[in-house]
Amino acid sequence: MTDEPRRRGRSVGAAVSALVGRVGAAGGFALSSILLARQLDKADFGVVTVLTSIATATSFIAAAGLNRVLLRDVAGALALGERARVLGDVRTAVRVLAISTPIGAAATLALARVFVPDTAWPAVAMAAAVTVGLAVLLVGADLLRGLGEVTVSNLTTGRSGGALGLALFCAVLVLWQAALGPTEAMGAYAAAVGVAAAVAVGAVVVRLRSHHAHPRPDGDTVDTSARAGLWSTARAGWPFAVTQLALFLTSQVDLWVASGSLGDTAAGTYGAALRLMTLVSLPLQAAQLTVVARIAALHATGRRIELQQRSQRAALVAGLPALVVLVPCIVVPGLLLETLFGPEYAAAALPLQALALAQAVNVASGLCGVVLSMTGHERAMLVTALAGAGATAALAYVGGQLDGIDGLAVGSAVSTATMFAALWLLARVRAGVWTHPWPARLTPPGPAGRP
């Protein structure tokens, strides 16, 4: 009997686990958004939405790109049978985190004072705590994926705290009986993210002990003092960190512009549309999580054809549920907003349509971002993402000054759609891989699977 049936079984199990985790994350994010919108007034909802957006953005700074560095290096090392490298890489990453997390928290405090200057300091402090928790969660979940522990990883993976963190947050919001304000909402979110991060860290410790207990037969060991130092690890991680931050800002900087130039109430209205767009991106994130470690391994072993086939198939599977969310956002945006968030949010109908059309380009471009970052082209992706974030901020500001949140959304949508089209083309030119959704047939491993 060959290992092929067993390998396929593991792939199916990973896909199911990813689906469960992402459906849970999507449901948790949607429910928490609805609960917050209905329990807070529109201005407070705008403040909480901006604070959570800032905390998520600065979590990429706090994580220092270590999530992608560890995932790539650990998955590649295990694919090559070099288990002894893993522990040294993780120890170095922990030391980098001890430096980067305070920097990320400080960035949260500074940005909150710029974009929501009238917010009470306890709410801002809770946002800084969310930054640290999300950073630990980012690194822990991706490291688990690289180590082959997909179940816990899928429950804790996600920009907003994963299925576990969001489930806990929703439970607190449902059970909350007292008056809810920005401080209470951010405190509950920080606690939920902290619990999810603790679970991820515990699972990492268990998995590392499992791998370290089975050294290579030749007794190979690695002197961890000879591994890359703090500077080299940080240097490897910063392109990932800045790229992730730039990509996130492309979809969120318009919210910050709305808050800074149009006020908290406008940010609350616009934030409702933006939170629905986050649901569209979740299936693509699930697809990335399903194949990202595999992409790194295929690149390490030179199997480019199979890499393209797997990325296109994953994009196709992810595109279908994304379209289920996109269609009502384009066809009946006002009704959707009114039903979910309340009649006062129907004013975000046109912004929702514009943002949905831009996300349709994202879906059509497939997994171009993860392919670029896992095949050594993170710097090219970084330049594109930075240009996209800058263009989004500029066009959103100009559009907002001309026509309020409607003009702001149109400017953001044009920039976002252009950036994803550029990343799709860049993946083909630099990595030699098409990433758009396609029912590609997998080429069997071996010489035929190599270009």
Tokens standing for 282? 């979740």
The reply to whether 6 falls in a domain is no
Question: In 230-263, where does DSSP find H-type helix?
Answer: 230-262
The reply to whether 2 falls in a domain is no
Q: What pLDDT, on the 0 to 100 scale, is given for residue 443?
A: 61
Domain span including residue 306 = 12-449
Half-sphere exposure at residue 29, Cβ-oriented, CA atoms within 13 angstroms: 26
The reply to whether 196 falls in a domain is yes
Q: What pLDDT, on the 0 to 100 scale, is given for residue 23?
A: 76
**In this structure, which amino acid lies at residue 197?**
A
The reply to whether 85 falls in a domain is yes
Q: What pLDDT, on the 0 to 100 scale, is given for residue 160?
A: 86
387-411 confidence digits (pLDDT tens): 999 999 999 999 999 999 999 999 9
Within 10 angstroms of residue 283's Cβ, the number of other Cβ atoms is 25
Alpha-carbon gap, residue 384 to 380, rounded angstroms = 7
The reply to whether 7 falls in a domain is no
Q: What pLDDT, on the 0 to 100 scale, is given for residue 404?
A: 94
The reply to whether 31 falls in a domain is yes
Alpha-carbon gap, residue 23 to 362, rounded angstroms = 19
- DSSP characters over 149-189: -HHHHHHH-STT-HHHHHHHHHHHHHH--S---HHHHHHHH
The reply to whether 176 falls in a domain is yes
Q: What pLDDT, on the 0 to 100 scale, is given for residue 229?
A: 65
Q: What pLDDT, on the 0 to 100 scale, is given for residue 262?
A: 93
In the chain, which stretches have pLDDT less than 50? Answer: 1, 213-228, 447-451
Contact present, 401 and 413 (Cβ < 8 Å): no
Question: In 80-119, where does DSSP find H-type helix?
Answer: 84-115
Alpha-carbon gap, residue 319 to 435, rounded angstroms = 12
Domain count, the chain: 1
Torsion of CA 109, 114, 116, 122, to 10 degrees: 20
Q: Count Cβ neighbours within 10 Å for each residue of 131-144 and write b for 16 or more, e otherwise.
A: bbbbbbbbbbbbbb
The reply to whether 4 falls in a domain is no
